[in-house]
Structure 1
Amino acid sequence: MDVSLTMWVLTIVGLCALIAIDFFIGGRKPHDVSIKEAGIWTVVWIALAVLFGLGLLIFGGGQPSGEFFAGFITEKSLSVDNLFVFVLIMSKFAVPSIYQQRVLLVGVLIALVLRAGFIGAGAAIIANFAWVFYIFGAFLIWTAWKLIQEARADDEDEEFEENRFLKLVERRIPSTDKYHGTKLFVMENGKRLMTPMLVVMLAIGTTDILFALDSIPAIFGLTQDPYIVFTANAFALMGLRQLYFLIGGLLKKLVHLSYGLSVILGFIGVKLVLHALHESGVHVPEISIPVSLGVICAVLVITTITSLRATKKQAQADAETKDSLDV
């Protein structure tokens, strides 16, 4: 898809305008986000992504539109996995509930900027070195296997560990251990101190780099168009804040999510390897976008259904155990 510089600028300006509207309407004043508010904004962001995809269909054709929807659904499903880590970060830094939406808003913006850099680098590498698809494919297959192993381990005592960048910031910049509203810096005894608010924002934003290591190669396995890769990531991330509050209580019920994500990553990894072989002149079948979209949606639906059934059975078993102990 040939995208002009003007279109890039208009897209970025449009996304910034949407983020500003989101902030001034729902995120400017610190407050506890209700399920209703989170649900409305989640629907709004998904609707905007659908409209954007339909716009690509009208002006670009079925191929770009299909690639966008496949990329968006993949990135959205992978971003749900981020929420587990976000919960750990919020808990570790004891973020008051009324400030959590501000933390997520800024943290997600930091993540989006960092991902833009990854996307630019990935596009440049792919344009010059076609063999990188072998590396991306192998990495995704390995990540899928690792995700399955982690899911089988079922570590209930998981804790958030600060990355090196965050530790460096905390060592170099004096900070206070108390929140001061939404302020990032405060003056105490004539010294300028960083507040936990800034630290947790950086934690959210920089931790996303780890998720980008598999999500960016994954979406490049569905499309090599930097414009589609960027916009799919943008729409997936920008609705993540509301999704955090909407399904926060349901996260523990998605017990099979890791298995589903591992299947998706493994599938895209195989797709990348087949594409690399095809580019090398080897006659192998390639997986089309409609097939990819169908597989991704089917895996997510099946994973959700099996997760809810497993959770329900576990709840019934726990209730029966409790009743027997009471007797």
Structure 2
Amino acid sequence: MTGPGDSGPIGADPTEAAENGPGGARSASDADLSDRHADPETPADVADLADRIVAEVEDVIVGKREAVEHVLVTVLARGHLLVEDVPGVGKTTLAKSVARSIDGSFKRVQFTPDLLPSDVTGVNVFNRRTDEFDFQPGPVFANVVLGDEINRAPPKTQSALLEAMEENQVTTDGTTRSLPDPFCVIATQNDVEPGQTYELPVAEVDRFTKKIRLGYPDTDEEAAILGRLTGDHPVDAVEPVATVADVRRARRIVGEIEASEPIREYVARLAVYTRQNARLGASPRGSLALVRAAQARAALDGREYVIPDDVQTEAPTVLAHRIRTESGGVDGAEVVADALDRVRVE
């Protein structure tokens, strides 16, 4: 279980704790990285930051540049990522590599049927020496939290993440505690053993900014993976190329990227189309996630404004998982594809 020292003092300002460290002074790694790279101040700086992270992670994750970019877009858009795929394709390695590349804390939770909500969020433990209850933080108190096979746990345990994902905080026994900033959940979903899993509640799925699949590597990529794993695991060699403070600044820059009124109206029309052509369409939360993801995509290109291409690039992974259709033969991805074909850019 995560200890209080892993993410700064509980109840302290998470931004200050991450900026300054436990002793109030910046860590040596932060200082070294600042010497090597200027703090992000413009979308072009954010693009440079993203390129460094992608390059570092690609030393470990072979042939998955698009997936790494999806993770970065999610982080910059202040969101969370759902990865649905078969076991053994590198989901854990991807999450851990991204966390290491930004010098952030990383925790992994293996979801199982007997996992309790307190195993995720933390629990108050009675201290006999002080005759008081001490809060022992759960693994959710980290910059990057990997929820492995989240659909193996019952809905009650899954719901432990709802407040954390929506409000970046955890409430236990009436006390609310802030989570580290940045905070990102990367959850994996087992889709090959439906008889041994629980369906994710719609409210929880809607809180994931994006949903992606990694897929199997091709022959050359798999051969390269095998070559890299014959010795030590390459994730251990991932070096920080940014700091969590860099990520916070990059997020602020992304939030200031212009999404003009025509862009916002285009996003709204896409969302309305999904509601008119499915039993359950994209929610307003989904529309907001799409605008934020489009802003992050613009930043990856070094632009100060969103263009329709940004929206169209992000819509499939941002909207499709939120849609429920009447027909088993039509899924959310098809509804989104139809929306992109039929809804005009004005």
TM over 0.5: no
- Which of the pair is proportionally richer in helix? 1
Query: Structure 1 length as normaliser, TM-score?
Result: 0.30
Higher-RCO chain (CA-CA 8 Å, sequence separation at least 6): 1
